[in-house]
Chain A
C-alpha cells in the first residue's frame, strides 16, 4: 500500500508473554520512528532509525523493549515479558528524509496485556 502499515492492529496477550509489533514504512522513506500513546496523551517517543541504524533509543522504557530495522525498511518493536503497564497504542511513523518533522503515521497497533 501507499501508507505506513502496522501489524497486528490489535494484540491481546497474557502478562509474561513476548510480543512483536511490525511496521512497514512508506517505500523509500529513510527515517522510521516508534511512539507509544496512552489515551488522552500525545505520542511518547520510544526510538528511531535512519536507514538501518538505530539513532536514539533513549525513550525505550526498560530493557524489555527493543527495536530493529535490519535492512533499513521494515522494523520490529519487541516487548519481552509483557506487563499490564505496557498496554497502549504503539505507533510507527516514517519520513522521507532524515530529521524532518514531516512524519507519516500508521494506524497503530493496540496492545492489551491481561
Chain B
C-alpha cells in the first residue's frame, strides 16, 4: 500500500465549477499535511498547509480528517489557471521524511 494515495484523475471540469480532491495516508503518526501544485514541466510549489481545524485561502479550502486518515482540497469558482496537478503531501513528526502522493490532474475547460 502506498503511503499517500490520490485519485490520479484527470478531472475535467468547466470554468466556474467546484471541484474536490481527496487523499488518504497510511501512517497514523503523520503530523503535517500539505497540498502542492505542479504545473506541466515545472517544479512542485506549496499551495497550502492543512490544519486539523480546516483552513481556507481564497477559493481553496483544505480539510483534514485524522480519524479516517484523509485530506481534502476544495476549489470553488475554478479558473482556467487552476489547471495543474495537485499533490497531496504528508510529513511525520520531527526527523521524518516528507512523502508526496502521485498527484491528481485537473483540467479546467472554458
User: Interface residues, chain A, CB within 8 Å of chain B?
Assistant: 33, 35, 40-45, 48, 50, 55-56, 58-59, 91, 98-103, 105-108
Contacts and interface: CB of A to CB of B under 8 A. Distances in A.
B100 A42 contact: yes
A74 B20 CA distance: 39
Contact of A107 (B4, B43, B91): B43
Interface in B78-107: 87, 89, 91-103
Nearest to B46: A102
Nearest to A33: B98
Candidate in B42, B87, B95 with the most chain A CB atoms within 10 angstroms? B95
B34 interface: yes
Contacts of B8: 40
Contacts of B27: none
